[in-house]
């Protein structure tokens, strides 16, 4: 399941975040790559654990916590601290798959990467190329969103970033471990939650059918989740 999270950051939020990360130290993106990724990856990355990365990551985390659509779609248990990258001058990232386990160096923090996320931080009109292309059951889908919008997709997906031939593409990227490991179960819960919210807006939360469906949702979550 691939979900767009529109307006995770508004224009003012994007500007504040960019002012923090743009002033930070950027290095070759392969500083954090595994052997396979290093063959395909050409970009720059904000130094992990730098003051700018920590401040920028905290801003992204705050925005995630304020966004019901993200919480409903991801059912997050753990979120890897957000990272930041940028592409320019023909840089891109060839076809690859994300590691199943992500570990934060120098700590005992680790997650199972159920979901990957990319938060776009550049106006799409300001650069050419840079589409995030995700391979799925129905073929490849190219994603290039407005600044402040985020795409959430299965970390098990093959994906790539097309070369940026004009301008600069800046984004935050990170991984999540969901409380619900199974992707199909997570999709069913999300669709059920969406249907409940739609019906509740029409009938009100006190409607007996809404109460019953909400009970079904929570009982399924209780059955499938590892809190």
Task: Please check the confidence at residue 33 and state whether its pLDDT lies above 90.
Answer: no
pLDDT digits (tens, 9 = 90+) for 77-127: 999 999 999 999 999 999 999 999 999 888 999 999 999 999 999 999 999
* Cα-based angle 133, 138, 141 (whole degrees, multiple of 5): 20
Model pLDDT, residue 31: 66
Task: Please check the confidence at residue 34 and state whether its pLDDT lies above 90.
Answer: no
Token pair in block for residue 154: 């299965």
- Encode 92-131: b = buried (16+ Cβ within 10 Å), e = exposed: bbeebebeeebeeeeeeeebebbbbbbbbbbebeebebbb
Q: Which DSSP category does 148 fall into?
A: T
pLDDT digits (tens, 9 = 90+) for 205-216: 999 999 999 999
Domains for the chain: give ranges and CATH numbers: 3-178 (2.60.120.620), 183-224 (4.10.860)
Burial classification of residue 41, based on how many CB atoms lie within 10 Å of its CB (0-12 exposed, 13-18 middle, 19 or more buried):
buried
């Amino acid at each position: 399941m691939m979900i767009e999270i529109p307006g995770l950051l508004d224009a003012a939020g994007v500007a504040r975040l960019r002012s923090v990360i743009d002033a930070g130290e950027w290095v070759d993106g392969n500083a954090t790559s595994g052997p396979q990724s290093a063959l395909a990856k050409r970009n720059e990355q904000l130094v992990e654990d730098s003051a700018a990365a920590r401040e920028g990551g905290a801003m992204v985390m705050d925005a995630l916590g304020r966004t019901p659509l993200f919480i409903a779609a991801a059912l997050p248990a753990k979120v890897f601290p957000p990272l930041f990258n940028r592409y320019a001058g023909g840089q891109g990232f060839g076809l690859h798959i994300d590691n199943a386990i992500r570990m934060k160096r120098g700590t005992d923090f680790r997650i199972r990467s159920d979901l990957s996320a990319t938060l776009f931080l550049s106006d799409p009109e300001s650069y050419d190329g840079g589409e995030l292309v995700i391979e799925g059951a129905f073929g490849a889908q190219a994603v290039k969103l407005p600044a402040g919008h985020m795409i959430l997709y299965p970390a098990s997906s093959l994906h790539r970033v097309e070369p940026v031939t004009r301008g600069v593409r800046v984004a935050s990227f990170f991984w999540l471990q969901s409380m619900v490991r199974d992707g199909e179960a997570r999709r069913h819960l999300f669709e059920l939650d969406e249907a409940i919210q739609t019906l509740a807006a029409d009938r009100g939360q006190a409607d007996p059918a809404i109460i019953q469906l909400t009970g079904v949702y929570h009982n399924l979550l209780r059955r499938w989740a590892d809190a």
